[in-house]
């Protein structure tokens, strides 16, 4: 059976636990940017008295265009993420696209993420589950845009079978025709019924996929985040950037860093009211 709640560094996520936040820039653009954002997130965690896990990607392998920025790569990216963990004390999450990346990433990061498009890839899930089982880490699996929430049972079963019951599932919207994602908030309790804590990805849920590059409706992030907290999610995932309009990946749906504390306070008040 999957574990619930799940321990992530000094925090616990899941049944009966405080609302957890996962936040950071989509991709590692530079060491300076990542460290600046991480330091600010650590300050925000103290200010609003809420747990934060830092997130950024060393490689974005699923970019729309061949010319899109992908990140510094595995070795350089993990060195930067290790500095984030050391300098801020924040637990760290990153995504893994290929099985060979799992072991070195698990040595640095508290949470390894299975990207939504890759959640059915058994070899990748196995590599991540086995690596995080050895390191004591956690798996975050993003529900694919093409899968029903109840079908995530099979992914959870794989993680447990390959040695790691510490699994989070993330709702990030479902494909609706072309260039649109929709959120069915029933997915949150449906996936919680599988025994795992459930994260709501508020920024990828407002993406507008397709075209020359992915767009987004940043102004809708607060709306869907409030709905997800009202529906009982265990954590909220935000990609954030000091200047999203200049970001090298997913800028249109990232929340500006200076807006994050206010939104977090709002969500914490909503959670308390429930």
- Summarised one tens digit per residue, pLDDT across range 105-118 is 999 999 999 999 99
Residue 130, Cβ neighbours under 10 Å: how many?
Answer: 18
Within-domain flag for 274: no
Instruction: Please state, rounded to an integer, the average pLDDT across all residues of the chain.
Output: 94
For residue range 212-248, what is the model confidence (pLDDT) as tens digits? 666 788 899 999 999 999 999 999 999 999 999 998 8
- Residue 79 belongs to domain with CATH number: 3.20.20.70
pLDDT in tens, 127-186: 999 999 999 999 999 999 999 999 999 999 999 999 999 999 999 999 988 888 999 999
> pLDDT at position 62, please?
73
What is the number of domains present in the chain? 1
Per-residue pLDDT, 69:
76
Query: Which of 65, 129, 143, 137 is CA-nearest to residue 108?
Result: 137
pTM of the model: 0.95
Q: Would you say residue 192 lies in a domain? A: yes
Structural domain boundaries enclosing 118: 6-269
Whether 63 maps to a domain, the answer reads: yes
113 closest CA partner among 98, 125, 95, 127: 95
How confident is the model over 200-216, as pLDDT tens digits?
Answer: 999 999 988 766 666 78
Residue 1 lies in a domain: no
Determine the Cα–Cα distance for residues 78 and 94; give it in Å rounded to an integer. 9
pLDDT score for 191: 98
In a domain, 247, yes or no: yes
How confident is the model over 87-104, as pLDDT tens digits? Answer: 999 999 999 999 999 999
- Residue 208 within any structural domain of the chain: yes
């Amino acid at each position: 059976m999957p574990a619930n709640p799940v321990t992530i560094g000094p925090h616990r996520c899941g049944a009966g636990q405080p609302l957890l936040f996962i936040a950071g820039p989509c991709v590692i653009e530079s060491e300076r940017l990542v460290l600046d954002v991480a330091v600010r997130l650590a300050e925000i965690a103290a200010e609003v008295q809420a747990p934060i896990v830092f997130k950024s990607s060393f490689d974005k392998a699923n970019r729309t265009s061949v010319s899109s920025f992908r990140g510094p790569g595995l070795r350089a990216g993990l060195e930067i993420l290790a500095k984030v963990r050391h300098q801020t004390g924040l637990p760290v999450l990153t995504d893994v696209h290929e099985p060979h990346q799992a072991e070195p990433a698990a040595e640095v990061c508290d949470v390894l993420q299975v990207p939504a498009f890759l959640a059915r890839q058994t070899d990748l899930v196995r590599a991540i589950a086995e690596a995080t089982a050895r390191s004591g880490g956690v798996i975050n699996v993003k529900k694919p845009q093409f899968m029903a929430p109840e079908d995530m049972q099979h992914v959870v079963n794989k993680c447990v079978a390959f040695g790691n019951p510490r699994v989070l599932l993330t709702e990030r919207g479902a494909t609706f025709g072309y260039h649109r994602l929709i959120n069915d908030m029933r997915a949150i309790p449906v996936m919680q019924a599988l025994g795992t804590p459930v994260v709501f990805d508020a920024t990828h849920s407002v993406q507008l996929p397709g075209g020359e590059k992915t767009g987004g409706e940043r102004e809708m992030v607060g709306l869907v985040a409030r709905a997800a907290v009202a529906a009982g999610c265990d954590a909220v995932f935000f990609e954030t950037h000091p200047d999203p309009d200049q970001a090298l990946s997913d800028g249109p749906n990232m929340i500006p860093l200076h807006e994050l504390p206010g939104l977090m306070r709002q969500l914490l008040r909503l959670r308390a009211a429930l």
